Amino acid sequence: MSRTVVVTGGAGHVGSHVVEQLVATPDTRVISLDNYFTGRRENHISGAEYRVGHTKDIDELVPETPDLLFHLGEYARIATSFDDVAIVHDFNVTGTFAVAEFCRRRAVKKLVYSASSTKFAIEGDGRHQNPYAFTKAANVDLINDYGRWYDLPYAICYFYNGFGPREMGTGKYATLIARFELQYKSGVPLTVTAPGTQRRTFTYVADLARGIIAAGEKGHGDDYSLRAAKSYSVMQIAEAFGGDIVVEEGYPGRRDVVMVSTSKATNELNWHPTVDIMDYIAQFKREHPR
Ligand SMILES: NC(=O)c1ccc[n+]([C@@H]2O[C@H](COP(=O)([O-])OP(=O)(O)OC[C@H]3O[C@@H](n4cnc5c(N)ncnc54)[C@H](O)[C@@H]3O)[C@@H](O)[C@H]2O)c1
């Protein structure tokens, strides 16, 4: 193997696609480090090596010095982050500091970070709307500053809502599209958090993975926005599935998000989204006729 790549969070939704695409790349040894908080063994990809543990222990758990590190292994939910604030801090602040230090001390050739578009919420200051967004924005600052202070090579990608294969549809940490799919298949009403007008830019998970890998190859610095071309309200998405819809009270996640230009990703990485969520839902319904 001519290069070694570490993917934190490699057993998670986006991370498993990053691992899958990297394993298919010639001469690449892929090591995942995941604590299985939301990661799942069923997401494992043949050909990758899986280490179990917290990113704060990365120095011991990964004795190899990788060429590249893709950092996706963080607490990654908005609504539950209020109740889980101590976990969020531990995973995202303590863990990511250890990852940045690992990259600095080992002189990793590039740290590639999966930042969150929650930073760009329209109403108010996005980074302060919930504990999750706070830590993700703080980590963008940290990684930018490691670039300034230590010349650490890095690239920062902003993901918009990922959807697609291996998304988690059940339990406390289920995410929207997979939950709608399961509700649709079970014939129960789709549950929409009020008001339902909140808009999201659902982006195909394999596109996100392709983008962050391209940032690992060719990216430098901040501002690689990876998102689909169109946004939809959560109610529009539910209506596209069809059937009964129940509106429930709850934290609707972040506010609407500014669709930051993807021009840096387009121009420097030649990255383009390939799947619109409405086409994906239409295909899903063809495969699961009522
Ligand atoms: N999917 C999205 O819409 C989206 C949007 C913006 C940013 N992101 C970021 O992308 C990354 C991946 O998100 P995802 O949607 O695949 O979520 P996910 O929950 O499926 O993946 C996160 C993975 O990281 C692992 N993990 C969490 N904390 C860890 C720690 N301290 N040490 C080791 N492993 C840890 C989890 O077990 C899980 O496997 C996250 O950093 C998330 O904040 C995702």
pLDDT tens per residue, range 231-285: 999 999 999 999 999 999 988 766 677 889 999 999 999 999 999 999 999 999 9
Is 262 close to ligand 1, i.e. is its CB under 6 Å away? Answer: no
d(CA 69, CA 86): 25
CB of 6 within 6 A of ligand 1: the answer is no
Task: Report whether pLDDT(119) > 90.
Answer: no
Per-residue pLDDT of 20-35, as tens digits, reads 999 999 999 999 999 9
| SS3 category, 199 | strand
Q: What is the pLDDT of residue 185?
A: 97
Average pLDDT of the chain? 96
What's residue 142's pLDDT? 98
pTM of the model: 0.98
Q: Using a 6 Å cutoff on CB, does residue 96 contact ligand 1?
A: no
Query: Given pLDDT bands bounded at 50, 70 and 90, which one contains residue 108?
Result: very high
Residue nearest to atom 31 of ligand 1 (CA): 91
Averaged pLDDT for residues 48-71:
98
> What's the 286 CA to ligand 1 centre distance in angstroms?
30
Q: Which residues of 39-53 are buried (b: 16+ CB within 10 A; e: fewer)?
A: beeebbbeebebbee
Query: What is the predicted pLDDT for the residue at 254?
Result: 64
**Res 9 pLDDT > 70:** yes
Q: Which CATH class is domain 3-287?
A: alpha beta
Q: 35 CB less than 6 Å from ligand 1?
A: yes
The residue whose CB lies within 8 Å of the most ligand 1 atoms, and thus the one to mutate among 74, 90, 91, is 74
The end-to-end CA distance of the chain, in Å, is 48
CB of 161 closer than 6 A to ligand 1?
Answer: yes
Nearest-Å Rg of the Cα atoms of the chain is: 18
Q: What is the best residue among 6, 7, 13, 112 to mutate for testing ligand 1's pocket, by most ligand atoms within 8 Å of CB?
A: 13
Ligand 1 centroid – CA 77 distance (Å): 8
